[in-house]
Amino acid sequence: MSTFQELGLNADLINAIEDLGFKTPSEVQQKAIPVLLEEERDLVTLAQTGTGKTAAFGFPMLQKIDVGSRTTQGLILSPTRELCLQITNELKNYGKYCKGLNVVAIYGGASVTDQAKQIKKGAQIVVATPGRMKDMINRKLVDISKIQYSVLDEADEMLNMGFYEDITSILSHTPDDKSTWLFSATMPKEVATIARDFMYDPIEITVGNKNESTSQVSHEYYLVNGRDRYLALKRLADANPDIFSVIFCRTKRDTQRVAEKLIEDGYSAGALHGDLSQNQRDLVMKAFRNKQIQMLVATDVAARGIDVDDITHVINYQLPDEIETYTHRSGRTGRAGKTGVSMVIVAKSEVRKIKSIERIIKKQFEKKDIPSGIEICEVQLMSLANKVHNTEVNHEIDTYLNSINALFEDTDKDELIKKFFSVEFTRFFNYYKGAKDLTVSESRESSGSGSGDDVRYFINVGRKDGYDWMSLKDFLKEILELGRDDVFKVDVKDSFSFFNTEKENEKKVLDFFTDFKYNGRYVNVEISENKGRSGRKRSRGGKRRDGGDKSHGERRSRRSDHSENRSERRGRRSDSPKPRRSGSRSGSDRPRRSRRR
Ligand code: ADP
Ligand code: MG
């Protein structure tokens, strides 16, 4: 592995890189920077989002342009205003020691006159969205006839958004002998066409495999009845108390509707789609970046500019029309070395699409069951317990301690703990008690595991300890000396997890963990109250009485599903003042919650 110095970057850039805290060049940077510095060649690079492409073209461009001149020498085209601003910002950071450097962003929705003024002062590098760029060229407000380097960033996105004509028109105003550097996460036909028609003998660099999803992201799908989509979404959110997510819908209307319902139900959610004004979108994005919004509901187009590094979950509320788009969606998580989960809520009619997506991303989906109500209660309770455990004592409380102690004089510790947790837990419990099973089985027969003879365990290690479901499963199999399929339904939360084994392994598991220390701390395993999410045969909620012939039973259960839906929603409104959701009580008088991770 080489260092930035070894890649051939000059001292001004190295100093800036040190300030930024970049230690080693990323793979795409290692591959692209030396060739771009040494040769005047065209380049096609395939790399996922979050791999450091901006620096891969930014460093060489900054080193090669003449900052002493005021001529525009570099043009970077990028699909959205957000990305334009981000790239401009990054380049300014990278070039902070390049005296005289001027990078200007050009994008729609802001004053043309102001942008033209900035260009006139002399911008060596222009970062632009295709639409506004073309407009300004036509009005002779910008001159790109002398550029030496042009970058097509996120080329697949630009073409997806219908910028082909704009791009070709813009390039026709540039000199023939410039170099063109194209960057793309995927390689659809249209991008290949651009490369063929506008580039000469390009060097090709691939980081990871084409169209492939990053290894940091695991993929899960949840099979539900179409009408339960929204309830399923809420359960997924409730089962992940620290969720920070983007939820994708297919249309602007659905996006708005889902966001509104979430907000109404007490979640900290926001909508992002093209019918909002630029100002509204900016506000939503700002709130999301600041983590005041935990669930951002977005359309594919609107989400293109989102470049937030610590998104924990991407939820596909509906699958995209074009399955290639899935790669972009799931790429919003698992960035900057973090792990992420991409969840898909599917109805039976769409389940075929999962297979097609697997072929494209070259990864397997795990079929999971929507968490049951009791499981969510357990997760919420343990999450709260962990929060309490990790909370630093605020000694401002000391003043009031006497009065509080007096109040609880006759309450022993156990009782106090129970009362304390009931405050929060009862809300969830009331909401979820009797909630129905939302998972639909894929085939008529239920799968082998989960037949009722399995045991579910709680274990006090989780994502914070570096596990995901796969690595925890491997770890458990190994230490317990169990076979490949003996540990299942592994579900990893932030600081704890769940897993199942067959009943016959129960003693082995519990015996093993009575006194097991790992990395200097006791690993605690207990039998969980619920049995995992699937394979439940008994009817739920006491409302549903199965009987009669099959079609009859089906009809009846459908009706009772409906009333459960209603009671589920009503439950939250009336007897439960909305389960937790820090953000929902986001009145300005509340301190903002700091997120762990
Ligand atoms: P991409 O364009 O491939 O999506 P970016 O260029 O936006 O990725 O980079 C993603 C994040 O990684 C940015 O926050 C950037 O500052 C950071 N980054 C880029 N290169 C490095 C590096 N070599 N070391 C550490 N962080 C880096
Ligand atoms: Mg980028």
Q: Give the tens place of pLDDT for each residue, 22-72.
A: 989 999 999 999 999 999 999 999 887 778 999 999 999 999 999 999 999
Query: Does residue 53's CB lie within 6 angstroms of at least one atom of ligand 1?
Result: yes
Distance 51 CA to ligand 1 centre (A): 6
Domains of the chain with bracketed CATH? 5-206 (3.40.50.300), 217-372 (3.40.50.300), 374-432 (no CATH), 453-589 (3.30.70.330)
87 CA: nearest ligand 1 atom: 7
Q: Which pairing describes strands 245-248 and 295-298: parallel, antiparallel, or unpaired?
A: parallel
Query: Does residue 25's CB lie within 6 angstroms of at least one atom of ligand 1?
Result: yes
Residue of minimum CA distance from atom 2 in ligand 1: 53
Mean pLDDT of 232-256: 92
Query: Does residue 79's CB lie within 6 angstroms of at least one atom of ligand 1?
Result: no
Distance 120 CA to ligand 2 centre (A): 27
Q: Which ligand is nearest to the CA of 91?
A: 1
Query: Does residue 416's CB lie within 6 angstroms of at least one atom of ligand 1?
Result: no
Most confident of 240-249, 274-283, 501-510: 240-249
User: What mean pLDDT is reported for the chain?
Assistant: 82
Sheet holding 525-527, edge to edge: 488-492, 497-502, 454-459, 525-527
Q: Which ligand is nearest to the CA of 50?
A: 1
What per-residue confidence (pLDDT) applies to 276? 87
549 pLDDT exceeds 70?
no
Q: Give the tens place of pLDDT for each residue, 192-202.
A: 888 888 888 89
Query: Does residue 26's CB lie within 6 angstroms of at least one atom of ligand 1?
Result: yes
Query: Does residue 124's CB lie within 6 angstroms of at least one atom of ligand 1?
Result: no
47 CA: nearest ligand 1 atom: 3
Q: Give the tens place of pLDDT for each residue, 411-445.
A: 888 898 888 888 878 888 888 877 888 888 765 33
How does DSSP assign 26-70, residue by residue? -HHHHHHHHHHHH----EEEE--TTS-HHHHHHHHHHHHS-TTS-
Sheet holding 179-184, edge to edge: 103-106, 125-128, 74-77, 149-152, 179-184, 43-46, 203-206
Cα gap 299→275, rounded to integer Å:
11
Distance 363 CA to ligand 2 centre (A): 23
Query: Does residue 9's CB lie within 6 angstroms of at least one atom of ligand 1?
Result: no
| Position 449 confidence tier, pLDDT thresholds 50, 70, 90 | very low
